[in-house]
Amino acid sequence: MLITFHSKASANITMFGEVAQQLIHMMGFCENIPGIIDVDDVPQALDNLQKALAVTQQQEASQEASSEDTSDPWEDEEPRISMLTRARPLLEMLESAIAEECTVMWESDS
């Protein structure tokens, strides 16, 4: 499943459903699809997301450090994409929505 975020303040953003639902939850909203963040709630959603991402970043760093101790250096692993990297387009959308006083919506593309 894919989820697309929409805002008049920026281009649409499409993400895999699981990642998008985690980010929606981090913003402080239930993962119902479709969903909307009202203009007045966008700043709080951005703040919630930034705080949750800071915690997630610390957890990812500690997991990475512990896996380096036990991993085989010759083993080919897929590069991990951090949640912060995945969230960056949504962070930018929220910032633009605040600046232009727009709502942010999401819906399923499936």
Q: Which residue has the tokens 């649409």?
A: 12
Q: For 8-39, how does the pLDDT look when each residue is reduced to its tens digit (9 = 90+)?
A: 999 999 999 999 999 999 999 998 899 999 99
> Domain residue spans in the chain?
2-61+82-105
Q: For 72-104, how does the pLDDT look when each residue is reduced to its tens digit (9 = 90+)?
A: 666 666 677 889 999 999 999 999 999 999 999
Asked whether residue 66 carries a pLDDT value surpassing 70, the answer given is no
Buried b (16+ CB within 10 A) or exposed e, 9-20: bbeebebeeeeb
Full-model pTM: 0.83
H helix intervals, the chain: 17-26, 42-70, 83-100
Which of the four pLDDT bands, split at 50, 70 and 90, describes residue 5?
Answer: very high
